[in-house]
């Protein structure tokens, strides 16, 4: 229901794909794409963010081989001195889903407290038409971002590193950022929207207090983090803002994501593209594009935590 009417300046035309795989994409998304709760589909139907925000962007990839990303041009040089821009900073990266969640459906279907309700512990995530899983994408990009941030002096904590059978649950993903006293936390996803939809977007938490959730203190800085990430990600990848939600702004504010609701540190989600869209899938499955994506993300996080957001 979200039209493209606000797509303006500078957004490139993206080849549209037929709707043949739309149903598939939606099903996959409902099974756990972005934010781990089918939020994209909800938003597309206008039922997503209770705040009136819109949902996610789709992308796809084809192979799960995710080469360990080159850290940075000069990692060694950077670690020695306090001159590193991110020295003393802690950044938590949350690779969405888990590559083997699908083998543990009972565990991930267990509901957990998300402040204003209860939701599934975690979801399986989506995949490209060719079978590249979202969980492989999120882990690969997280590794690339980690390398870049560590080279700039940051301490980087991953919520999962493919080293556990399932999860963590969304509330635990938030707690990991809280416990680390992260200067910024980012959950990395790719969407599973209908094939014709494309583009990326960033999701910030809505300011609210409900049950065990209280995002009032982090809503404003998280929004700044969202806009900063949006700028840097767009600049690095040339990926357009999602055309199917958020009014074409590339931004949403939501209160239905446990990973945001339960956070006490500035945190956002990024949906890097639509895995079910042919154009986005080509990008998401390309290691060179993923490195660009990682650089955009790392640059956005760096600008935010150093106070040099643009
Ligand atoms: Zn996801």
CATH topology classification for 20-39+81-305: Aminopeptidase (3.40.630)
Name the band, by pLDDT with cuts 50, 70 and 90, for residue 73.
very low
What is the SS3 assignment for the chain? CCCCCCCCCCCCCCCCCCHHHHHHHHHHHHCCCHHHCCHHHHHHCCCCCCCCCCCCCECCCCCCCCCCCCCCCCHHHHHCCCCCCCCCCEEEEEECCCCCHHHCHHHHHCEEECCCCEEECCCCCCECCCCCEHHHHHHHHHHHHHHHHHHCCCEEEECCCCCCCCCCCHHHHHHHHHHCCCCEEEEEEEECCCCCCCCEEEEEECCCEECCEECCCCHHHHHHHHHHHHHHHHHHHCCCECCCCHHHCCEEEECCCHHHHCCCCCEEEEEEEECCCHHHHHHHCCHHHHHHHHHHHHHHHHHHHCCCCC
Question: Per-residue pLDDT tens for 24-35?
Answer: 333 333 333 444
Quote the ligand 1 centre to 77 CA distance (angstroms): 35
Phi, psi angles (nearest 5°) of residue 27? -60, -45
Tell me, what's the pLDDT at 58?
36
Name the band, by pLDDT with cuts 50, 70 and 90, for residue 86.
very high
Record the pTM: 0.77
Question: Per-residue pLDDT tens for 154-170?
Answer: 999 999 999 999 999 99
Catalytic annotation, residues: 271
Going from N- to C-terminal start, the domains of the chain cover 20-39+81-305
Quote the ligand 1 centre to 29 CA distance (angstroms): 8
CB 265 within 8 A of CB 184: yes
Quote the ligand 1 centre to 37 CA distance (angstroms): 8
Quote the ligand 1 centre to 31 CA distance (angstroms): 9
Quote the ligand 1 centre to 42 CA distance (angstroms): 14
Question: Per-residue pLDDT tens for 231-279?
Answer: 999 999 999 999 999 999 999 999 999 999 999 999 999 999 999 999 9
Quote the ligand 1 centre to 152 CA distance (angstroms): 27
């Amino acid at each position: 229901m979200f039209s493209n009417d606000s797509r303006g300046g500078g957004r490139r035309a993206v080849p549209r794909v037929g709707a043949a795989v739309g149903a598939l994409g939606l099903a996959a998304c409902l099974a756990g794409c972005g934010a781990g709760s089918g939020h994209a589909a909800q938003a597309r139907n206008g039922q997503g963010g209770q705040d009136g925000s819109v949902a996610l962007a789709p992308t796809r990839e084809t192979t799960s081989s995710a080469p360990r990303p080159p850290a940075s041009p000069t990692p060694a040089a950077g670690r020695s001195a306090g001159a590193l821009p991110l020295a003393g900073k802690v950044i938590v990266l949350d690779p969405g889903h888990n590559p083997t969640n699908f083998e543990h459906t009972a565990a991930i279907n267990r509901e957990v407290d998300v402040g204003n309700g209860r939701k599934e512990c975690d979801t399986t995530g989506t995949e490209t038409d060719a079978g590249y899983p979202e969980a492989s994408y999120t882990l690969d990009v997280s590794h690339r971002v980690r390398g870049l941030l560590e080279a700039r002096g940051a301490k980087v904590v991953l919520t999962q590193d493919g080293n556990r059978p399932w999860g963590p649950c969304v509330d635990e993903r938030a707690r990991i950022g809280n416990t680390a006293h992260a200067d910024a936390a980012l959950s990395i996803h790719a969407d599973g929207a209908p094939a014709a939809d494309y583009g990326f977007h960033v999701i910030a938490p809505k300011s609210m207090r409900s049950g065990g959730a209280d995002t009032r203190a982090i809503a404003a800085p998280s929004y700044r983090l969202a806009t900063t990430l949006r700028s840097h990600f767009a600049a690095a990848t040339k990926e357009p803002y999602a055309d199917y939600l958020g009014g074409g702004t590339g931004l949403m504010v939501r209160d239905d994501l446990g990973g945001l609701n339960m956070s006490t540190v500035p945190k956002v989600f990024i949906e890097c593209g639509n895995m079910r869209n042919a154009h986005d899938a080509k990008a998401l499955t390309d290691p060179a594009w993923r490195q660009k994506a990682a650089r955009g993300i790392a640059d956005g996080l760096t600008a935010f935590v150093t106070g040099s957001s643009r």
